[in-house]
Chain A
Amino acid sequence: DVKVTQSSRYLVKRTGEKVFLECVQDMDHENMFWYRQDPGLGLRLIYFSYDVKMKEKGDIPEGYSVSREKKERFSLILESASTNQTSMYLCASSSPGGNYGYTFGSGTRLTVV
């Protein structure tokens, strides 16, 4: 069964910590995405990647960075976590062309205290 795996379902971190959210897909997809989901705001795109070592900013990249050293892995990094980054983080992957839909991971609910 093909899937996208996010390393943690729940995470609690302290303000100022550096936080790594990991996402791995086993579908050989070129495209990978990080979204955050907040009540009333829907899903907002943070960063995406079309290929290894490639990244592009989404709509809300401030306070985040990403790394894609291997095709199957796309990491989201919170350089210095803040309370306004408390959210549900969703990773997704897709094949090229945008014609087949995303496959999402189960999400990581991050709380920054």
Chain B
Amino acid sequence: SQQGEEDPQALSIQEGENATMNCSYKTSINNLQWYRQNSGRGLVHLILIRSNEREKHSGRLRVTLDTSKKSSSLLITASRAADTASYFCATVATSGTYKYIFGTGTRLKVLA
């Protein structure tokens, strides 16, 4: 079952612009994570935000979490062509399981 839903499904921007992707989920979570996947490869962990955190930064990445709305956003600032990839959010429920549930992803294309 898919818990996370990313929005938009696809995004195309110019190099240097900011890219914002959103993720909504359904149940209470322990933490939420964002991953990047280059075409035909495995996923790479980008950033984790815990349920008691509201914002987190890592380099050009900024993640926010609103547990009241059950949503998160990933902002990539000053995007580069190398940021072209699919981005997934993943959630870990508070129910005690260690399974991550992934959304269907946002395909980001950064045009040089």
Residues of chain A having any CB pair with chain B under 8 Å: 4, 6, 31, 33, 35, 40-43, 45, 48, 50, 58-59, 88, 90, 92, 94, 96-107, 109
Contacts and interface: CB of A to CB of B under 8 A. Distances in A.
A102 B104 contact: no
Interface of B: 1-2, 30-31, 33, 35, 40-45, 48, 50, 88, 90, 92, 97-105
A64 to B, nearest CB: 16
Q: Secondary structure at chain B's binding surface: helix, strand, loop or mixed? A: strand
A100 B50 CA distance: 10
B102 A58 contact: no
Contact of A58 (B44, B50, B99): B99
Contact of B42 (A40, A94, A99, A105): A105
B98 A31 contact: yes
B105 to A, nearest CB: 6
